[in-house]
Amino acid sequence: MQHKPKRSRALALPRSECRSRATEYLDFLAAWVSKPRQTASVVPSSRYLARLMVEHINPDDGRVLELGGGTGVFTRAILGTGLPPEKLEVVEINPAFARGLRRHFPQVSVLETPAQIVSASAAGEPGEYQAVISGLPLLAMDRQMHADILSESFRMLRPGGGFIQFTYSMRPPVSREILDALDLDVVRVGQTVRNFPPATVFRFFRKGE
Ligand SMILES: C[S@@+](CC[C@H](N)C(=O)[O-])C[C@H]1O[C@@H](n2cnc3c(N)ncnc32)[C@H](O)[C@@H]1O
């Protein structure tokens, strides 16, 4: 009897999914070529990293803000928690990525604005958000930008809310001086090698919470 060769998991992906992943990678590469510091990676994050980024989201617990949506890897994972799409706003400064996010997630608000001034455009009130999920390239940004992004995010976060950030380093991407000045603290959520490059996830929170 003739044995059929086993198909690998990658080959078993439906053809339409392979095509959309390939497009996602090409879009990301094009963004990196035109704006390397703003995009800061040649490939989108993996779904393993996305899973770590969203593990604290409670779908019944109100609004979530995502910063630096890119091609939507974290957006998909946030919606995968069961959060209603109208409770999610995604901030993305690159117009081509913003267009793609609107096409893929028509029920989600996409705010084409810099993350450091997001409170001017957000639909929710300050103090109403349970989490900020950040894909921003903090390692490519200066200290003033770190302070502006964290201040703006914690203006939107309610008591007990957290700012979740990944980084390609083992250490938090924000200095202790800035955290102390803003009265914030940080803990490591986890790490994954199933991402290129391997990544660590941190949760920033108000001191004493
Ligand atoms: C490293 S990519 C991450 C994309 C996606 N979250 C992922 O993990 O695959 C950083 C994203 O942040 C966006 N970005 C960079 N600076 C920004 C800013 N100041 N405000 C809003 N988005 C920004 C870039 O355009 C890019 O899409």
- The DSSP bridge partners found for residue 89 are 65, 109
pLDDT for the residue 54: 98
Q: What is the CATH number of domain 45-206?
A: 3.40.50.150
Write the pLDDT tens digit of every residue in 138-169: 999 999 999 999 999 999 999 999 999 999 99
The tens digit of pLDDT for each residue in 1-31 reads: 445 444 444 446 677 777 777 888 888 788 8
C-alpha 104, offset from chain centre: 16
**Model confidence pLDDT, tens digit, residues 37-89:** 888 888 999 999 999 999 999 999 999 999 999 999 999 999 999 999 999 99
Report the distance separating Cα 112 and Cα 198, nearest Å: 28
Give distance in angstroms: CA of 196 to centre of ligand 1: 16
pLDDT at 13: 64
- Ranges of each domain in the chain: 45-206
- Which residue's CA lies nearest to atom 2 of ligand 1? 39
pLDDT of res. 14: 72
Is the beta carbon of 167 within 6 A of some atom in ligand 1?
A: no
CA distances from 115 to 51, 53, 144 (A): 22, 18, 13
Could you tell me if the CB of 93 is within 6 A of ligand 1? yes
Output the CA 47–ligand 1 centroid distance in Å: 16
Ligand 1 centroid–CA 68 distance in Å is 3
CA 112 vs CA 11, 104, 132, 151: distances in Å: 36, 15, 16, 19
Q: Is 47 in the pocket of ligand 1 (CB under 6 A)?
A: no
Report yes or no: 104 and 171 within 8 Å, Cβ to Cβ: no
- Model's pTM, two decimal places? 0.91
